[in-house]
Amino acid sequence: MVSDVVHLPFGDLTENFDAMRLPVKQSQRRRGPYPYYGASGVVDHVDRYIFDGEYLLVAEDGENLRTRNTPIAFLARGKFWVNNHAHIVRGSGAADTRYLMYALLASDVRGYLTGSTMPKLTQANLNRLPVPAPPLPVQRAIAHILGTLDDKIDLNRRMAETLESIARAIFKSWFVDFDPVRANAEGRDTGLPKDIAELFPDRLVESAIGAVPEGWGVGPVLAHAALMSGGTPKTDQPDYWSGPIDWASAKDVSLADSSFLVGTQRTITERGLAESATQLIPALATVVIARGATTGRMVILGREMAMNQTCYALKSTVGAPFALFHQLLSMVAGFVQAAHGSVFDTITTRTFEGSLAVLPPDALQRRFDAVVSPLMLRSLSCVEESRTLATLRDTLLPKLISGELRVPEAMLQVEEATA
């Protein structure tokens, strides 16, 4: 049963600091260490700050106020600058700042928005938004429970970033800078195990794309990858949708906050798969957005899934999916530059067929995968765990805020999930 939680206007629970905000044109910003926040998070870093402490930022305008693709409220800590696209507040003596963030995330603000073209949440409307206001100790307990999950998710994100940065550095050393080849040429220690060092030649030769290791090929990336396309089941057939098969779109890829995609917003059924142009893409294939505003964005599939026609998938044909992903990352700027389209750039099959890339020996690509697989698979594990934790958080959030779920019950679930 939902408890009788008192609701108070947001403005009665907060101190507002909007008057201290100061937008700075990009041309006038000087690069520095301090985050520069907008409606959806950090948009730049600058050399000065306005605020120092813990504050709650709330989106003032933008389509995201309607779509809620990203959080409309988030904490900012330390020294930072805020432009005039985000309200800045903190809890008064009667409210916990982090609790207020979660309360807003659970709130339906659509009735408080103005503007038909660009949604806007004015300070006046934000201030009159009713917010559940349990006693302060309960607020802090709720913030702690949900914050524990968010902190673990953030830890996983940072760990995944570190692991993936190591893998990128190894790829760059081996296949972009050719460090082992240069070391062999100069008689220096490569720093690699002997059996790996011996896979690299000791000489660079000129090619159509510049100096490359002797004996390595130069050609299209499709020389060691298979290109796969997607499709969309008929949207007027309900039995094609909401099944067990993930169905990736450009939106899913662009919203992925790591190198791995482990779930999608929409799913399809076995029948939807069989009776449409889409197909199953194997786990660890690379998916690239082919058209739209985020052309060139790419991810690795963390599991087998289907996809729509806004993307292409590339599957390694030499048993080295991580080598392929990193090579595509190194080539993506060229893909986008070669893309064409009247409104948005479009990557086509000819983009891949016309690309020129270094083609290391198959055995060396597989050896790279053997070296970085523990890093990349640990990163995937972090992403999968974070997805599970986020699902739990999103389940607990409205129940805790409304009083439907008591703090001790929620704490037990969180302790089990994070043990």
pLDDT tens column, 13-57? 999 999 999 989 888 999 999 999 999 999 999 999 999 999 999
- Banded model confidence at residue 405, pLDDT cuts 50, 70, 90: very high
d(CA 372, CA 357): 21
Judged by average pLDDT, the poorest of 82-91, 194-203, 338-347 is 338-347
Global pTM value:
0.90
Structure tokens at 254: 């662009």
> Is beta strand 73-82 parallel, antiparallel or unpaired with respect to 34-38?
parallel
The rounded mean pLDDT for the chain is 95
pLDDT in tens, 290-299: 988 888 999 9
d(CA 160, CA 281): 23
- Banded model confidence at residue 341, pLDDT cuts 50, 70, 90: low
Residues 95/133, Cβ–Cβ less than 8 Å: yes
Sign, Cα dihedral of 162, 168, 174, 176: negative
Q: Give Cβ neighbours of residue 126 (< 8 Å, ≥ 6 apart).
A: 10, 11, 58, 87, 112
What pLDDT score does 340 carry? 60
d(CA 172, CA 154): 27
pLDDT in tens, 260-292: 999 999 999 999 999 999 999 999 999 999 988
124 vs 1: which has the higher pLDDT: 124
- Banded model confidence at residue 342, pLDDT cuts 50, 70, 90: very low
Tell me which residue of 305, 298, 290 sits closest to 258, measured CA to CA: 298
Tell me which residue of 263, 274, 206 sits closest to 237, measured CA to CA: 274
Structure tokens at 380: 């995937």
344 pLDDT more than 80: no
69 pLDDT more than 80: yes
d(CA 42, CA 255): 16
Query: Which class for 191: exposed (0-12), middle (13-18), buried (19 or more C-beta within 10 A)?
Result: exposed
pLDDT in tens, 103-119: 999 999 999 999 988 99
What is the CATH topology of the domain spanning 221-355? Adenine-n6-DNA-methyltransferase TaqI; Chain A, domain 2 (3.90.220)
What is the crossing angle of helices 136-175 and 321-338, to 10°?
90
Residues of the chain with CATH 3.90.220.20: 1-133, 221-355
d(CA 18, CA 59): 12
What is the CATH topology of the domain spanning 1-133? Adenine-n6-DNA-methyltransferase TaqI; Chain A, domain 2 (3.90.220)
What pLDDT score does 293 carry? 80
Q: How many secondary structure helices (H) and strands (E) does the chain include?
A: 12, 20
Query: Which class for 75: exposed (0-12), middle (13-18), buried (19 or more C-beta within 10 A)?
Result: middle
1 pLDDT more than 50: no
Residue 172 sits at φ, ψ, to 5 deg, of -60, -40
Instruction: Identify residue 234 by its one-letter amino acid code.
Output: K
